Chain A
């Protein structure tokens, strides 16, 4: 039984959401010398990356591992002798590695077809070779799905050796197509896969653990198997029921990362296929479609794309430079020739965007590339004997220090080429300079591409008065949208902020008119790839790009860039006019109306007519089509703009014409950021939102907006652009060109037929409305303008009520009645009034408000007496309150929550922002104000060893319901002395939490952080908080495999934090869907038994909790209701610090108004528990444990269409599907995770330093360390904190001397009193969360490379450090000292984004720095050695300034730190600087955050005033 297929067909699982991440490694002989040793070393690297891979429920079955080598000719020479066949000379034959169906007869059929296909291609089969394997070496689950593994050797016969690879490529395509069509049963066909077919390379891979690869594939143990390169890969898949074929490497590459835009890339590729014309392939070009296999993973698709470019004449480096361009648009220091190269190629292909570390090899050359953000680690070592080792980590192959020539890392967007024939490494600059000069790209661009001149004025009448009103009404603008969204956008050029989540119903549940946009939800990155920070890291983003007709992908001609370059996808009216008039350099446009006559035509016909017109226009050569809805009249009604856009886009893809045309939208409809995103996401190249522009101009003319019409229009467009950038960056996408058509959305409440027809490929899982409803509502709006009578005094536009409750507006679950009832019930402990409240929340017979409102219990089983149900006092232990930080809410409110939860044995949550250690002590009356759950969020504020050790649960917040994929900001005025102290920051200074955790760019990184936290506090459960979206179940499976103890699935609607309104409304899905998906995926993978599932998101009543339990949750979070019980009245002004009831404010006067009490909360939680008990009794379930995952006890309410007709199309059967696997595996948590802490070196340390910890006795120990020794020092530090808090031990109490390459998170959460001296190097996350102590890192004495030029630590060091000292004699990677708030460090050189988000501490850089230094740095000081005076070009001026180092205080500090550095590491650079101090001091620059400086000055002034 394929359990995943089961839930994919019947449940909520979407196979396309499958993620994987991995360890990648390569060993090569640069001189191309083949040897077996290279393979052995490759496999050793693989084994040392073991911790980056994963295993599922069967610990012996890995997620996949493999190796790519050169074709081992010697092996086949031997084999041909043994088996008596004739082998052509080396390179004159291809080797195919295939997986066949295990059933013999079927395998024979497949082989026969392959034989025939080979013959037809004028080649011949030399032999079929059963690949020797050892079945005992692999796991039980792997064996169950093991295919037949064969190699076939193909004689090239007369084929020209130079075209052999192309011929083999075409042959493989033919074979695949033949086999796919031979009529194999689907489950057997699934086995079939060609791992490789090449004369150059060969791939051995499978569902294996790293160490099983050569144990299984006996060829790899054979000495005659030789290669000059070994590319290895170990996979961490989010699901376990893996396939052999999903292992890497693919045919050309191994990838660590995620292509976020793959949906769009596949669509674009598909639409290019009809234009393919290749001199190299000739007629064979028709055989290669489809380029990407249906349902293939992102990496497989990328591999297909790369292969295509290679096979049609481009080189490896050229192809990768096209597919993964550097961030060039905003890079001022990039040479122009390189920019020209990138810009020219932008006219050919959009970037494949997402975090990626890719190593590709074609047999002769190896090319490695890192994405523009550098979001994957990539380290390399070159030995003196010409060996190259590169990998996600350093230290994966033991090499004598004296053997090392250089140690380096690949930088963001950079490339690394090894030419095995030339026998040399070619660096990024040389590669790119050479490529950039292959054609005169600059001239081509100047002569052939066009840009808007800005010299054209719109001919459209200015919309105002009645005409504007008509437009607004037809598109359903509301007073609220204008007031709450457009007004702030026009005023401030920013999107408005809101708070306290969204309690309005989904579009499908709402009785109100809903425009089509509202049925879509933004997807966002969580765990498997990081969101980006479009503000602080703006330099990697771009909203510009080409639109127009693309040409044959395989050629490069001047005419390729006959396209229009747009700076922004949002156009004003003049720019649109210029586009409409274009006729230059082959770029022509034509305008096609989206209007139709509702009397003559229905919507469906109108769309089909529109599609036909566009197709004809494009066929006749138009390169830009403007879809316009200008000219609405009584008999001209617009097709909803999003529908017209997506329908046209998909029709063009189907017709193979999509890349021949750019789509521009001229519409009065789009106004919100979400609207722009959807239009771009479904294909629009640019949008002229003339209705929104006219609206803001009109507001200005009415003096409702402060500035003049031109300014507010400009502001509005800016706000929309920034908004789009933000939404893209939530998904980790950097460029609009890749976002275009990428369909990063999920539909909620649209029927399948409709989605398939117009939004092809968009997930939609609960059915819903279709074209008819959209049409009806659109006609009704039209009629309201042209047919219905005007009523005096009626407001011109609907009032709205989406963001704020309005009587007779949109329904909100939190309304005056429900709020006041709940408060009164909790205050007076009145069950009766609580029941009135819960009836209001539960009874959704008129207003459907939630998905659970559409469910009923299956009361078929025997009910039991309430008395036999477990007591409420047990149930309340399963309750948690939300992660609401002290800082966002007042101390009073925060502590009330904690006391209440501690009294009942539930769990309160610190939220992000640390906790006052005073709260770890009991109050006099026995109350505890210690929050059981301590959150670890991206800002890492206040995350110290003491904080960690005092937790019951440690919660890693990957996303939050109100704004998944976004970071946060605490404005300076909210950081008072108390908050500042707890967060280890300076009061008055703004604090920024980055969108991503800078130590989680992938699933294996998450596993690493879980491991770190578990080390710091082995007693605590580690929770991972996710937000519901399609694929969340898959991520939850990854969390379970990454050894999370609890996974929390948050609904989109909860969330109390401040957030852009577009995120509150449009990102994420209800928890019901995410929870059910999670349950199904975990059960199908047999991963459920080892993880607790918690859910939250507007839970209010016993019924809510019952449904959550039945859908799969065993713990329940309640945040909004808890705040309301304590007096919150949904002012939704949390972000303004003006909460009138003293909850979400730090204003001392307002805080006095707080009137909540723990008793109220306790009353409420008991009401909920008792109500749950009644339901449990009626279902015949005595314990919550029995309830968990019993989806079969739920059913969809009958006749929900009677509530209102829109609901009739809803089908919740996928949500309620009980996976078949449930019969065989546990469906709730029964076991603990195995965290593998026993192997930790810290266990020894704690033993060895027992006396030091207890009695502060000083001691020294010496040890060797390896890259698999991860999180060194954290467990020791936790134990120190347990005894001594964050005060730790006296300096140098514990001294550890180490040799070797340390694993990730070296020195994490290090306590005061610990000193570590490492001779060697380390990987990523050095000194993460370091609280004190000292670390020094220097190369071993025997090494000969120059430390200041070589990388000896990884990326992201000192992340969230609160203290301590770190001295590094060598260079570091990206994001050194990110979000440091107290650590001091000296280092010899750093990569990009150094000191990002830093709030405190001191950093000294003695050498080179990367770009974007000090982005988002609001506190602390950095000193940078800037001898060549170029530092300012790499410095981000957003929050900080550069100063000279002149004050004696600065000079003393700097000198002291450099002296320490010399002392600790023996740095020659330090010695030199100190020796020439007088001269050198002027070469230092001081980086001083402005806000920080202001606060320091204010304080100094206060101090002098006394």
Chain B
């Protein structure tokens, strides 16, 4: 452990965020640079617990106390080695992870947790700066070929792991760019795209083949993959957005969040969007339906675009500031969480059920009702409308950010004929194989919408299963707990 008394001497001090008043004028990342001394102090707060809950709180099993220790000692190279051993993409998770590790940090029982995520990012960036993160093509090739369909975090993790094991890997992506939601879904102010490109470039140098603009099952027959590859890895994500089929849903100005966010990312990358397809919040009154991360991404984007006012409505009640009794550490805390975007403006409101979108052709306002939540005799919370609480809010733009229900079934999955589970996700066995032989799946496609860190974890695990399947044994590390 770096400093036994670190947590006593130093308070949690994450890097400063840029002033919201200035940062809303650009799409650059939130954070100011962090001083070397501050990082050392912060890593010295780690207690090197003999039972590091952070390490299990992290879906990747990042060995957090060990890299904190190395950072404290100033051994950044060793820290990079520790970090990369469990995480293919610390430069992503160091920026966009909600940090379940920090929620599980032992210090958070009665203190502020260690700034794990920020330290992770610092390690990753030093790894690049110093050339410790570099292409590492396998020394030998197995001759086996694997197709990875979908280039989001899960597919990329799977691809890199499979390539490390010596297999030839080809990644298929339906969009014009590799990276899935990393590239097109997450706004630049959270993850600048050159960060993603840097990794894709590195992976190409490691020998991974990337194929874009190829929607397998739609414009590319899946049979080709079956013929050409020894195994197929499906990592297409959970992309079927939850809709709100109320009156007025078809009015102009009501959009899915993902339509909106991808447009902005494309614009920033220099692409142009036909004017009639453009969704822009400038000068508009905007309502975002959904209180999660995607909603916050929409919020930050709308503010940057110059929205007149932004509301974010959530169906559920406002979470408490502190952990409720039934939600003890180290469980994920069901508390109010604010994204940096919330510092920038916008109004959050809770217990709101949208009843209809009102307008002629174009959206003019949203009509909603207030709801209450109360437990029934089984402890299950039920919703009821508050009598006489209907209200209208003027809006020209509504963004639906209510999550995703399952992967798209049309195309790839239908063509392959893979079995689905009750929730419409791809069903896999304990070795991550689908009902179709040699076809594996991982990521949100299997577990439903989740965090990027879970997607990476899934990708690593499916790669391990595929390698074991192809090679008879595997030396890829196990990412999932042996028993969960």
Nearest chain A CB to B128 CB, angstrom units: 15
Bound complex: CA of A1127 vs CA of B75, how far in Å? Answer: 33
Bound complex: CA of A804 vs CA of B63, how far in Å? Answer: 11
B47 touches A1138 (CB 8 A): yes
Bound complex: CA of A81 vs CA of B52, how far in Å? Answer: 89
Q: Considering only CB atoms, which chain A residue lies closest to B53 in the complex? A: A816
Residue B329 at the chain A interface, CB threshold 8 Å: yes
**CB-CB < 8 A to A500: which residues of B?**
50
Q: Considering only CB atoms, which chain B residue lies closest to A827 in the complex? A: B328
7 closest residue pairs by CB, A with B: A1132-B50, A792-B136, A1130-B51, A807-B61, A805-B51, A804-B50, A816-B56
Of A54-62, A534-542, A783-791, A1432-1440, the stretch lying at the interface with chain B is A783-791
Q: A806-830 CB contact bits vs B (8 Å, 1 = yes)?
A: 1110001011110110011001100
**CB-CB < 8 A to A815: which residues of B?**
51, 56
Q: Considering only CB atoms, which chain B residue lies closest to A814 in the complex? A: B51
B109 touches A1140 (CB 8 A): yes
Q: B467-484 CB contact bits vs A (8 Å, 1 = yes)?
A: 000000001111001110
**CB-CB < 8 A to B325: which residues of A?**
828
Q: A807-B481, A816-B330 are in contact. Are A1140 and B106 (CB under 8 A)?
A: yes
Bound complex: CA of A1133 vs CA of B111, how far in Å? Answer: 17
Residue B84 at the chain A interface, CB threshold 8 Å: yes
Nearest chain A CB to B470 CB, angstrom units: 13
**CB-CB < 8 A to A79: which residues of B?**
none
Q: Which residue of B47, B52, B63, B84 contacts A1133 across the interface (Cβ within 8 Å)? A: B47
**CB-CB < 8 A to A703: which residues of B?**
75
Q: B117-141 CB contact bits vs A (8 Å, 1 = yes)?
A: 0000000000000000000111110
**CB-CB < 8 A to B252: which residues of A?**
none
Looking at chain A's contact residues, is the secondary structure mostly helix, strand, loop, or mixed? Answer: loop
Q: Which residue of A791, A823, A828, A1136 contacts B4 across the interface (Cβ within 8 Å)? A: A1136
Nearest chain A CB to B70 CB, angstrom units: 9
Nearest chain A CB to B54 CB, angstrom units: 9
- Interface residue ranges of B71-109 to A (CB < 8 Å): 73, 75, 78, 81-82, 84-85, 88, 104, 106-107, 109
Bound complex: CA of A828 vs CA of B165, how far in Å? Answer: 48
Residue A280 at the chain B interface, CB threshold 8 Å: no
Residue A144 at the chain B interface, CB threshold 8 Å: no
Residue A1129 at the chain B interface, CB threshold 8 Å: yes
Nearest chain B CB to A1157 CB, angstrom units: 15
Q: A500-B50, A1155-B110 are in contact. Are A789 and B4 (CB under 8 A)?
A: no
A807 touches B50 (CB 8 A): no
What are 22 pairs between A and B in contact, CB < 8 Å? A789-B140, A789-B475, A791-B138, A791-B164, A792-B136, A792-B138, A793-B85, A794-B477, A795-B81, A799-B63, A804-B65, A805-B55, A806-B55, A808-B482, A812-B51, A815-B56, A820-B329, A1129-B49, A1133-B47, A1138-B5, A1140-B107, A1140-B109
Residue B7 at the chain A interface, CB threshold 8 Å: yes
Q: Considering only CB atoms, which chain B residue lies closest to A480 in the complex? A: B66
B164 touches A819 (CB 8 A): no
**CB-CB < 8 A to B78: which residues of A?**
702, 704
Q: A792-B136, A808-B478, A1138-B4 are in contact. Are A823 and B47 (CB under 8 A)?
A: no
Residue A1186 at the chain B interface, CB threshold 8 Å: no
Nearest chain B CB to A1420 CB, angstrom units: 31
Of A202-210, A302-310, A1145-1153, A1247-1255, the stretch lying at the interface with chain B is A1145-1153
Q: Considering only CB atoms, which chain B residue lies closest to A818 in the complex? A: B51
- Interface residue ranges of A815-867 to B (CB < 8 Å): 815-817, 819-820, 823-824, 827-828, 846-847
Known: A817-B56, A1131-B47. 12 other contacts (CB 8 A): A790-B139, A791-B477, A793-B84, A794-B476, A803-B50, A804-B50, A805-B50, A815-B51, A820-B53, A823-B328, A1129-B109, A1150-B8
Q: Considering only CB atoms, which chain B residue lies closest to A1127 in the complex? A: B109
- Interface residue ranges of A1111-1135 to B (CB < 8 Å): 1127, 1129-1133
Please report the number of residue pairs spanning A and B whose Cβ atoms sit closer than 8 angstroms.
Answer: 130
Residue B295 at the chain A interface, CB threshold 8 Å: no
Nearest chain A CB to B199 CB, angstrom units: 13
Q: A812-B51, A1150-B8 are in contact. Are A847 and B166 (CB under 8 A)?
A: no
- Interface residue ranges of A1318-1368 to B (CB < 8 Å): none
Q: What is the size category of the interface that chain B forms with chain A?
A: 35 or more
Bound complex: CA of A1140 vs CA of B51, how far in Å? Answer: 13
- Interface residue ranges of A120-160 to B (CB < 8 Å): none
Nearest chain B CB to A480 CB, angstrom units: 9
A1138 touches B52 (CB 8 A): no
**CB-CB < 8 A to A820: which residues of B?**
53, 328-331
Q: Considering only CB atoms, which chain B residue lies closest to A804 in the complex? A: B50
Nearest chain B CB to A828 CB, angstrom units: 7
Q: A820-B329, A827-B328, A1129-B49 are in contact. Are A806 and B482 (CB under 8 A)?
A: no
**CB-CB < 8 A to A18: which residues of B?**
none
Q: Considering only CB atoms, which chain A residue lies closest to B330 in the complex? A: A820
**CB-CB < 8 A to A1140: which residues of B?**
7, 47, 106-107, 109-111
**CB-CB < 8 A to B478: which residues of A?**
808
Nearest chain B CB to A541 CB, angstrom units: 32
Q: B437-480 CB contact bits vs A (8 Å, 1 = yes)?
A: 00000000000000000000000000000000000000111100
B106 touches A805 (CB 8 A): no
A704 touches B75 (CB 8 A): yes
Q: Considering only CB atoms, which chain B residue lies closest to A1145 in the complex? A: B8
Bound complex: CA of A1130 vs CA of B51, how far in Å? Answer: 6
A794 touches B85 (CB 8 A): yes
Residue A481 at the chain B interface, CB threshold 8 Å: no
A1141 touches B475 (CB 8 A): no
Q: Considering only CB atoms, which chain A residue lies closest to B139 in the complex? A: A790
**CB-CB < 8 A to A1129: which residues of B?**
49, 51, 53, 106, 109
Nearest chain A CB to B65 CB, angstrom units: 8
Bound complex: CA of A638 vs CA of B156, how far in Å? Answer: 41
Q: Considering only CB atoms, which chain A residue lies closest to B331 in the complex? A: A820
Q: A704-B73, A799-B63, A1149-B8 are in contact. Are A1131 and B50 (CB under 8 A)?
A: yes
**CB-CB < 8 A to A870: which residues of B?**
none
- Among A792, A846, A1127, chain B packs the most CB atoms within 10 A around the CB of A792
**CB-CB < 8 A to B1: which residues of A?**
1133
Bound complex: CA of A1136 vs CA of B7, how far in Å? Answer: 13
Q: Considering only CB atoms, which chain B residue lies closest to A1128 in the complex? A: B51
B109 touches A1141 (CB 8 A): yes
Q: A807-B61, A1140-B109 are in contact. Are A791 and B476 (CB under 8 A)?
A: yes
A789 touches B139 (CB 8 A): yes
Q: A479-495 CB contact bits vs B (8 Å, 1 = yes)?
A: 10001000000000000
Q: Which residue of B66, B164, B476 contacts A479 across the interface (Cβ within 8 Å)? A: B66
- Among B50, B66, B325, B328, chain A packs the most CB atoms within 10 A around the CB of B50
**CB-CB < 8 A to A1136: which residues of B?**
4
Bound complex: CA of A792 vs CA of B134, how far in Å? Answer: 11
B483 touches A1141 (CB 8 A): no
**CB-CB < 8 A to B483: which residues of A?**
846-847
- Interface residue ranges of B188-227 to A (CB < 8 Å): none
Nearest chain A CB to B328 CB, angstrom units: 5
Bound complex: CA of A1149 vs CA of B166, how far in Å? Answer: 54
**CB-CB < 8 A to A790: which residues of B?**
139
**CB-CB < 8 A to B8: which residues of A?**
1138, 1147, 1149-1150
Q: B4-28 CB contact bits vs A (8 Å, 1 = yes)?
A: 1101100000000000000000000
- Interface residue ranges of A744-797 to B (CB < 8 Å): 788-795
- Interface residue ranges of B23-68 to A (CB < 8 Å): 47-53, 55-57, 61, 63, 65-66
**CB-CB < 8 A to B84: which residues of A?**
793
**CB-CB < 8 A to B88: which residues of A?**
793
Bound complex: CA of A827 vs CA of B109, how far in Å? Answer: 14
Nearest chain A CB to B46 CB, angstrom units: 11
Nearest chain A CB to B240 CB, angstrom units: 32
**CB-CB < 8 A to A816: which residues of B?**
51, 53, 56-57, 104, 330
**CB-CB < 8 A to A1150: which residues of B?**
8
- Interface residue ranges of A1130-1176 to B (CB < 8 Å): 1130-1133, 1136, 1138, 1140-1141, 1147, 1149-1150, 1153, 1155
